[in-house]
Structure 1
Amino acid sequence: MTRRDLITFFTLSFMWSLSFIFYRIGVPEFGSLAFASLRVVLSGLTMLVFVLLNAKNRQGIRENYKVLAVVGLLSAAIPFVLFAFSAQTINAGVLAVLNASVPMMSGFIASTFFKDKLSKKQIIGLIIGIVGVFILMSESLFTEQGQAVSLSSSLLPMGYGLLACVGYATGANVTKNYLSEISPIAITAGSLIIASLIMLPIAIYAFPYGQSISVTAWSSVICVGVFSTAIALIFMNQLIKNIGAMRATSITLVIPIFAIFFGYVLLDEALDIGAIIGSVVILFGTYLSLNLSLKNLARS
């Protein structure tokens, strides 16, 4: 892993963590399902520009449209809808922990179906990172607005969230193993355009007609669609090609750190010792799971 890959890794963490802020602003006005579907549609429209401006990208999409359709479904359309349903009854802490299971699932899929074996160091790093996420979210993990969340009422929504994570992990491995010959822009454009066509009817159906949507809410859904989805997935697909699916999806371990930081700075949320300890544990686990070498990074 080069220094450039590491910079991309943390830049992507920053971009995706902002989606938590955008969701906090936009979901109350749009509703979960409408916001999630609009996110995909806007990201598809954004990537359409890249396709129109570059003939090579169009060729790559035409030659691989079947695999891109699978990636679009697994990495965008289905997970966004599943998480939208989960978010209606499960608090953000539980969803963050579920999302942090993606690299472990990705590693399992890579080693089982694609013979991409993980080292003991990487496996230990993943486990440490997930422990760090639990520490990070310990105060809010099983509570919502001070009330305990019923396990029985959360099982189905948690199942939705886990299925979404399986989609992310599978989509990353499919991208790594079947789309290595085309550019990250073509991969992102093809998968998101197809996903947006699927999600467009849902966006039309779920849109809150008759309600006044503020400029701030519209800005949040545009930003999450353009920057936290379209542009971010270009970086993600490049990262998957460079360092592999499991190490790239380890980004889900780091995202909560940025999310808590932005919550503290922008939303005046509390920052306690548990958050600091959890962040340190996550960074150490991520360091191991990425199989980093400080000497190699300095040389690169």
Structure 2
Amino acid sequence: MTNRDLIIFVTLSFMWSLSFVFYRVGVPEFGSLAFASLRVLFAGLVMLVFVLLKKKNRDGIKQHWKMLSLVGLFSAALPFVLFSFSAQSVNAGVLAVLNASVPMMSGFIARVFFKDRLSKKQALGLVIGVIGVIILMSESLFGGGEPGKGLVEGLLPMGYALLACVGYALGANITKNYLYEVSPVAITAGSLIIGSIIMLPVAFTEFPYGQAISIKAWVSVICIGVFSTAIALIFMNQLIKNIGPTRATSITLVIPIFAIILGYLLLGEALNIQAIIGSIVILIGTYLSLELSIKKMLKPKDKTQTNSI
């Protein structure tokens, strides 16, 4: 993993963590499904500009539209809808823990279906990272369930979230194994434009007609579509191509750390000892899963070596 990949990894973690703030502002006014569908639509419109400006992106979409359709379905349309359903009755702490299962699922899919292998260091790092997320969110996880809720009724929303994570893992592996020669911009544009088409009926049927929507809510849905979806997925697709789907999706282990920091700075949320300990454990797990080396990172680069993006 190059220093540039590491910078992309950290930047992407921050961009996706902002989603928690945007959701906090926009979902109460739009509703879960309307907000999720508008997120994809705005992201698709942004990527449409990239397609219109560059012929190479159009050619990439035309040649690989079938695989891009799968990526759009698994990495955008289905996960956003499933997480929207899940978020109606599952608290943010549990969702963060479930979302952290993506790299484990990605590694399993890569191993079983694409014959990729995880090193012992990577596997250990992923397990430690998940433990860190559980520590981070332990108060939300074990703070007590909602009275009067049946077992199936309580588990079904979590099942939606896990299916969304499977979608993310599948999309990442498809990108790595079948779209390696396609540019990250073309992959993102094709998948999000196709995802937008899939989500368009949802946007029309679920939009809160007749209800006044504040400027804050509109800014939040536009920002999550442009920055936390379109631009973020360009970075993610580049990262998948550079370091592989399992290591790239381990970003879900780091996102809760940024989310807690942003919550503390922007929303006035409490910062407790569990957050600090959990964050340290997550960083250790991520360091191992990405197979980073402090010595290599500090070592001066050979001027003849170059990084490609």
Task: Using structure 2 for the length normalisation, give the TM-score.
Answer: 0.95
Query: RMSD of aligned C-alpha atoms?
Result: 1.3
- Within a 5 Å distance, the mapping from 1:142-291 to structure 2 comes to 142-143=142-143, 150=149, 152=151, 153-291=153-291
Q: Confirm or deny: 8 A CA contact 1:143 1:149 kept in the other structure.
A: no
Amino acid at match of 1:66: K
Structure 2 gaps of 5+ residues are 302-309
Amino acid at match of 1:178: Y
* Distance in structure 1 (CA, Å) of the matches to 2:204 and 2:149: 33
* Distance in structure 2 (CA, Å) of the matches to 1:142 and 1:161: 18
* Distance in structure 2 (CA, Å) of the matches to 1:280 and 1:75: 29
Offset of 1:140 from its aligned partner?
1.1
Offset of 1:298 from its aligned partner?
2.3
Offset of 1:297 from its aligned partner?
1.9
The Cα offsets for residues 243-289 of structure 1, whole Å up to 9 and x where unpaired, read as 00000000000000000110011100010000000000000000000
Offset of 1:2 from its aligned partner?
0.3
Q: Confirm or deny: 8 A CA contact 1:86 1:158 kept in the other structure.
A: yes
1:293 maps to 2:266: no
The Cα offsets for residues 90-117 of structure 1, whole Å up to 9 and x where unpaired, read as 0001100000000000001111111110
Q: Confirm or deny: 8 A CA contact 1:94 1:142 kept in the other structure.
A: no
- Within a 5 Å distance, the mapping from 1:93-172 to structure 2 comes to 93-143=93-143, 150=149, 152=151, 153-172=153-172
Amino acid at match of 1:43: A
* Distance in structure 2 (CA, Å) of the matches to 1:148 and 1:131: 27
* Distance in structure 2 (CA, Å) of the matches to 1:148 and 1:235: 42
* Distance in structure 1 (CA, Å) of the matches to 2:269 and 2:162: 27
Offset of 1:172 from its aligned partner?
0.1
Offset of 1:296 from its aligned partner?
1.9
* Distance in structure 1 (CA, Å) of the matches to 2:224 and 2:269: 21
* Distance in structure 2 (CA, Å) of the matches to 1:180 and 1:238: 10
Q: State which drifts further: 8-17 or 150-159.
A: 150-159
Amino acid at match of 2:126: L
CA 1:143–1:42 in structure 2 vs 1: closer, same or farther (change >3 Å)? farther
Partner of 1:44: 44
* Distance in structure 2 (CA, Å) of the matches to 1:88 and 1:238: 32
- Within a 5 Å distance, the mapping from 1:4-23 to structure 2 comes to 4-23=4-23
Partner of 1:80: 80
Task: Using structure 1 for the length normalisation, give the TM-score.
Answer: 0.98
* Distance in structure 1 (CA, Å) of the matches to 2:42 and 2:205: 16
Q: Confirm or deny: 8 A CA contact 1:142 1:149 kept in the other structure.
A: no
Offset of 1:294 from its aligned partner?
1.4
* Distance in structure 1 (CA, Å) of the matches to 2:148 and 2:33: 22
Amino acid at match of 1:112: V
Q: Confirm or deny: 8 A CA contact 1:185 1:234 kept in the other structure.
A: yes
The Cα offsets for residues 184-240 of structure 1, whole Å up to 9 and x where unpaired, read as 000000000000011011001000000000000000000000000000000000000
Amino acid at match of 1:188: T
Amino acid at match of 2:28: P
* Distance in structure 2 (CA, Å) of the matches to 1:259 and 1:27: 17
Structure 1 gaps of 5+ residues are none
Partner of 2:35: 35
Show structure 1 runs of 4+ deviating over 2 A. Answer: 146-151
Q: Confirm or deny: 8 A CA contact 1:175 1:237 kept in the other structure.
A: yes
Amino acid at match of 2:44: G
Give the paired residue count. Answer: 299
* Distance in structure 2 (CA, Å) of the matches to 1:131 and 1:159: 20
* Distance in structure 1 (CA, Å) of the matches to 2:196 and 2:296: 40
Q: Confirm or deny: 8 A CA contact 1:72 1:195 kept in the other structure.
A: yes
* Distance in structure 1 (CA, Å) of the matches to 2:189 and 2:177: 18
Amino acid at match of 1:29: E
